[in-house]
Amino acid sequence: MPEPRDIIGLSEREYARLVALPLKVSAEVAAQRGHRQLFDDLPVMLALLHLVHGLTEWYWVSSDGSSDRSSWATLSLAPLGACRMALTLAELEESACLTCLQALQAGHALLQRDHVLPAATALTETAWQALQGPDPARADAALTAAAGQAVQAIEHWEDRRSRPRPAAS
């Protein structure tokens, strides 16, 4: 599991592009949904994981391989590292924090397996492209839209999964 120092392994530029904006957007979405803290909103935490994962992958494939780019080993820790940062505010015991991170990782794997987030993935691509330009408000808007769609898709998926199935006759 990533430690806070793993996020520190990112350059300032990488942190700003891959972690800071998704954390900000996710916290705002959680607040709009009535949650005082980001860690208290599971669908938004999963959306955060998805956003950072998507941006990290776009960064990796879009970069020219320059020497100032972090290694994939470091970059691949960014999604769970962002979630760990949000969970830090919960002041959980270390074992509880690790359990939460493992649950988020497993939840994200289920979302990927069931193809729950294709629209949010396309919007993450749009956000990545916006991050390359001079208009930070455009990237913020694209990430906010991606987070909102991801949360809707996650809640719809969970509703379908938890709905009682009719008994076979």
Dihedral (CA of 84, 89, 90, 94) sign:
positive
Whether residue 8 lies inside any domain: the answer is yes
Quickly state the pLDDT bin for 120 (edges 50, 70, 90): confident
Q: Is 90 a domain residue?
A: yes
Query: What's residue 4's pLDDT?
Result: 46
Distance CA 139, CA 21 (A): 9
Residue 124 has pLDDT above 90, yes or no: no
Is the confidence at residue 69, as pLDDT, over 50? Answer: yes
Mean per-residue pLDDT, 60-82: 85
- Determine the Cα–Cα distance for residues 108 and 115; give it in Å rounded to an integer: 10
* Contacts of 29 by beta carbon, 8 Å cutoff, 6+ apart: 41, 44, 47, 144, 147, 148, 151
**Mean pLDDT of the region 146-168:** 88
Q: Please indicate, yes or no, if residue 67 is contained in any of the structural domains.
A: yes
Range of the domain at 37: 4-162
pLDDT higher than 50, residue 32: yes
User: What's the pLDDT at 168?
Assistant: 65
31 lies in some domain? yes
When mean pLDDT is compared across 27-36, 58-67, 129-138, 157-166, the lowest value belongs to 58-67
- From the CB of residue 137, how many other CB atoms can be counted at a distance below 10 Å? 8
**Position 169 in a domain:** no
pLDDT digits (tens, 9 = 90+) for 36-46: 999 999 999 99
Instruction: Express as a percent the part of the chain with pLDDT over 90.
Output: 62
Residue entry with tokens 């987030």: 117
Q: Residue 90: pLDDT above 80?
A: yes
**42-62 and 118-131 helices, crossing angle to 10°:** 50
Q: Give the Cα separation of 49 and 79 in Å (integer).
A: 5
Counting the structural domains of the chain, the total is: 1
Mean of pLDDT values over 71-97: 92
In a domain, 133, yes or no: yes
Work out the number of other CB atoms within 10 angstroms of the CB of residue 47: 30
Between the CA of residue 159 and those of 18, 61, 109, 154, 164, what are the distances in Å? Answer: 30, 34, 18, 8, 10
* Identity at 70, one-letter amino acid code: S
> pLDDT confidence of 49, banded at 50, 70, 90?
very high
Q: Is 167 within the bounds of a domain?
A: no
Q: What integer pLDDT is reported at residue 163 of this predicted model?
A: 81
Q: Is residue 115 included in any domain, yes or no?
A: yes
